[in-house]
Amino acid sequence: MIDLQDVAHTLLRSGKGILADDETDVHADKWLAAHGIEGGEEMRRKFRNLFLAAPDNEKYLSGVILFEGTLTQKADDGTLFTELLAKKGILPGIKVDQGLEPFPEGGKETITKGLIGLPERLMEFRAKYGTGFAKWRAAITIEGTQLPTAQAIHENAKRLALYALEVQKAGMVPIVEPEVLLEGNHSRLRAREVVAETISAVISSLEDQGVDITGVILKTSMVLSGNKSGKMDTPEEVAEDTVGVLLENAPKDLAGIVFLSGGQSTEQATANLRAIEALAKEKNAPWPLTFSYARALQDEALTIWQGKDENIPAAREAFITRLKEDACFTLADSAC
């Protein structure tokens, strides 16, 4: 019998965080293209290899969220990525949602797909590839006071809870990710309201479905002004609203909370994490908090790499330097 709390605590141990390396093939190719790198199966494998096989990443990573296609891919030395991670003591996780669709049809909001056949997929991922945790992302859009609608929040919350229940039944830890999108001209105050409403709906749904909260990791957005608002929040403002909203809405027996970077620059995501961790310690927040970034951990390295083998050492050095800095804030006595 797997102790889900143990797994969650291992993922959330201090000095470490979780890499989200789970872009779909389409998104990975788009991201590579944005860095001037031609995509395709082999280039995506090299892209995963750059980060997953980076020496010393195990010093700062407790887990990595993988995309399904990566489960069968191998590192340069022929080892399956999942085995390579396990050997390093990094727990492999798996994104199990199957993307977004408009909700309702033709609308601006979205609902996340992937519940059909989920129990069977989870069993296979765990038995064949040793995945210890899973992720499901919902996306919540802010537009003035009209969006999000209560229906979109509640339907997404319900699906997150149904997913989490199946993941726990399969002996894995669910990462529950209701991302409140940065896109828009909304204020930070409005973002705070929406994050509060979203988290509280998700927690109610988890409770309604009988999910064991002590074995759940919440993955949340930081509270930020919209990216078209013209306002650049200071790290102290972000920390005040983010830690505040979590203390008000996240139950203290959650296993822990991790942050997505959501389109912030790498520097912003690092500075905001630093301020959040410091304030959470000051306020004796009851949960471990760490990062689970994709873009804010990988962007600098991709810019250096350019898809060329000769650039791998420098790209990895940038990745490890960023990881080390972000991970340091999670230490109890951080002098980062």
Q: Where does this chain bind ligand 13P (CB under 6 A)? A: 20, 137, 177, 260-262, 293-296
Nearer to ligand 13P, 122 or 181 (CB): 181
Task: Give the separation between CA 101 and CA 103, rounded to whole angstroms.
Answer: 6
Closest CA to 220 of 167, 173, 273: 273
Smallest separation (angstroms) from ligand 13P to the CB of 174: 14
The least CB distance from residue 309 to ligand 13P, in Å, is 25
Contacts of residue 205, defined as CB under 8 A and 6 or more positions apart, other chains included, come to 154, 157, 158, 160, 161
- Closer by beta carbon to ligand 13P, 74 or else 325: 325
Nearer to ligand 13P, 113 or 283 (CB): 113
What string of DSSP letters covers 23-38? --HHHHHHHHHHTT--
Q: Is residue 219 among the annotated active site residues?
A: yes
Burial of 251: CB neighbours in 10 Å, binned 0-12, 13-18, 19+: middle
Does the CA dihedral 58-60-66-69 come out positive or negative? negative
Which residues on neighbouring strands pair with residue 177, listed in sequence order?
A: 137
- Asked if 86 and 66 touch (Cβ cutoff 8 Å), the reply is no
The residue among 129, 117, 121, 181 whose CA lies nearest residue 153 is 181
Spatial CB neighbours of 61, under 8 Å, sequence gap ≥ 6: 16, 17, 18, 19, 90, 323
| 177 classed as catalytic | yes
Nearer to ligand 13P, 54 or 139 (CB): 139
Q: Choosing from 166, 177, 197, 300, which is the catalytic residue?
A: 177
**Minimum separation from the CB atom of position 228 to ligand 13P (A):** 17
Indicate the residue among 67 and 125 with the shorter CB distance to ligand 13P: 67
Catalytic residue among 155, 219, 240, 277: 219
- Report helix, strand or coil for 306: coil
Tell me whether residue 20 or residue 243 sits nearer to ligand 13P (CB atom): 20
Least CB distance from residue 75 to ligand 13P, whole Å?
Answer: 22
Cβ contacts of 133 within 8 Å, gap of 6 or more: 7, 8, 11, 63, 65, 91, 93, 94, 167, 172, 173, 174, 175, 217
Q: How far is the CB of 9 from ligand 13P (least distance, A)?
A: 21
- Which CB atom, from 153 or from 273, has the smaller least distance to ligand 13P? 273
One-letter amino acid at 333 equals: D
Query: How many Å is the Cα radius of gyration of the chain?
Result: 19
State how far the alpha carbon of 82 is from the alpha carbons of 44, 68, 73, 118, in Å: 16, 11, 9, 20
CB of 177 to ligand 13P, least distance (A): 6
Q: Which residue's entry shows tokens 């309201």?
A: 193
Catalytic residue annotation: 177, 219
